[in-house]
Amino acid sequence: MSANTHASGSSPAPFSNEPYANFLDPAVASEAAASYARVSSGLGATHSLFLDGQWVDRDEHFESVNPSRPAQVVSRHAKATVEDAREAVAAADAAFPDWSQTGQTERAALAFKAAALMRQRKMDLDALLVLEAGKSWVEAEADVAEAIDFCEYYGRDLLRISGMHSTAPQPNEKSELQYIPLGVGVIIPPWNFPLAILCGMTIAALITGNTVVLKPSSDTPLIAVTFVKLLLEAGLPPRAIQLLTGPGVAIGDALVENPRTRFISFTGSKAVGLRVNELAAKPQPGQIWIKRVVAEMGGKDAIVVDATADLEDAVKGILASAFGYSGQKCSACSRAIVEAPVYDEVVAMLKEGAERLRVGAAETPGIHLGPVINERARKNILNYIEAGRAEARLLSGGSAGAGEGYLVEPTIFADVPSSARLFQEEIFGPVLAVTRAANFGDALRLANDTEYGLTGAVYSRDPENIERARREFHVGNLYVNRKCTGAMVGSHPFGGFNMSGTDSKAGGPEYLLLFMQAKSIATRV
């Protein structure tokens, strides 16, 4: 039983992160195999949109496939239309008055109930992530645990900020402030954390009293359908959430531009995030507010290693950050910047470590890298690798992996100049650029030489270098002597600077306020 478990109606226990299952334990491995078989037995079914409290099908459908076995259809889904987008916003708008007036304790209870249901079904959710998102069991477990953490953390935080807050008193006056919901929110989550980020964005918007239209990635729609059904089981009023599945820029544009849309919460690429921001900034006929955009976009994250670092620990952190989930994380280390005195040694250690990593189908026990999400992504990554051969020295990897899935070998380039595409552009795959720095100041300069500012790490035993990095390394999440991936809800509020987004700090004490507005009330007494 999790330390977060609490009886209905009682004050929740202090927050603690959901523990991870150990897949080296034979009992856990057996449970995982059973879940994989159980979830696999239901593959191929057709799923509908969820509009105005009803599951509704459409004539056109699209397929979600297993990235490890692209011939295997995971599910078929109704393809939403622009008219569906308009209907979804109208339905969410009609549901807003009732849901927004629901008590905050009741809304927090929804988050706790959703966490409890996910905890009960964790291994089946893991299996679904393995099948639809191509996550290894370890990565899938972390994804589901983070989703549970978001529910538990945000539920508690809503209770913390609920009610009236006293402000500085004035003579003969009672001054208060309260936080109220915004309205209809459009939630556009990514495919790479298709449960954790989807859950965090959606739960935060819902429990703060907003209604939502959820538009998941077309690469991972079944996880979204599963989550919506779980929320309904947890007690969410059906009309408070709308689910639109299907590809198409037109649907997303229609949702963002709708005058009844109050806010957009987006996680994805820089290009799409900037488009969302641009469309949201233009007021539409009948619109009476400035739309709020909460955007988490890309990263070109660096790990800096100085001459005093524990090199074994640094190399371990770089490899884990670069190649976990095949580098398909906005927080992934795509640049290793190493001080000259230890550069050659670190390069040799990285090559040796990368060549020990196993690539294969996501469900295979003990693999380090599963597939990338789809064939388009694999082609894009391989094109970057091919271009990199002319920019730098290929150290290891460099090819598609052997097997039927969308596999790419863990690839490392050494001696990468800062002008190279490998150094500047987000690849979103298992490709690491290693660059030599003349000294620590040069390393920080190189680390900051990017339009992004999401995560970064420094490995050093020098207190002055560490303190300098704390001041000068311009990222939203800085880690010292640990990897740059794996932000934990409650401990590492997550969000970045510059073209990495609006610095939302998901999983932190300010996040829920992004989905609310403050109302000041002064009463003469």
Specify whether 149 is located in the same domain as 183: yes
Residue 450, in any domain of the structure: yes
- 426 has catalytic annotation: no
pLDDT mean for each 10 residues of the chain (525 residues): 57 95 96 97 96 97 97 98 98 98 97 98 98 98 98 98 94 96 98 98 98 98 98 98 93 97 97 97 97 97 98 98 98 98 98 97 94 98 97 97 94 98 97 98 98 98 98 98 98 98 97 98 95
Specify if 14 maps to a domain: no
What local confidence, expressed as pLDDT, does residue 440 receive? 98
The whole-angstrom separation of Cα 87 and Cα 255 is: 10
Distance CA 230, CA 11 (A): 23
Instruction: Please check whether residues 406 and 472 belong to one and the same domain.
Output: yes
> Which is catalytic among the residues 199, 330, 333, 484?
330
Looking at the fold, whether 282 and 133 belong to one and the same domain comes out as yes
* Amino acid in the structure at residue 219: D
Is the same domain home to 359 and 343?
Answer: yes
Q: Are residues 456 and 472 in the same domain?
A: yes
pLDDT score at 8 = 52
Residue 26 lies in a domain: no
* 311 and 281 in a common domain: no
Q: 316 and 280, same structural domain?
A: no
Known active-site residue 345: no
Q: What is the pLDDT of residue 1?
A: 43
**144 contact partners, CB below 8 Å, separation of at least 6:** 118, 122, 125, 126, 129, 195, 196
Q: What is the CATH number of the domain that holds 339?
A: 3.40.309.10
Q: How many domains does the chain have?
A: 2
Specify whether 367 is located in the same domain as 322. Answer: yes
* Residue 126 domain boundaries: 46-64+75-163+177-297+504-524
**210: which 2 tokens?**
């907003």
d(CA 203, CA 207): 6
Shared-domain flag, residues 252 and 328 = no
* Distance in angstroms (rounded) separating the CA atoms of residues 189 and 196: 10
Same domain, 452 and 481: yes
- Report yes or no on 32 lying in a domain: no
Res 248: pLDDT: 80
Which position among 296, 339, 409, 426 bears the catalytic label?
Answer: 296
In a domain, 497, yes or no: no
DSSP string covering 411-452: EEEES--TTSHHHHS---SSEEEEEEESSHHHHHHHHT-SSE
Residue 69 lies in a domain: no
DSSP code at position 484: S
Residue 215 domain flag = yes
The reply to whether 369 and 447 lie within a common domain is yes
Domain match, 290 and 307 both: no
Q: How far apart are CA 110 and CA 287, in angstroms?
A: 31
Cβ neighbours of 158 (radius 10 Å): 24
Q: What is the pLDDT of residue 9?
A: 55
Q: Is residue 218 part of a domain?
A: yes
Supply the CATH number for residue 103's domain. 3.40.605.10
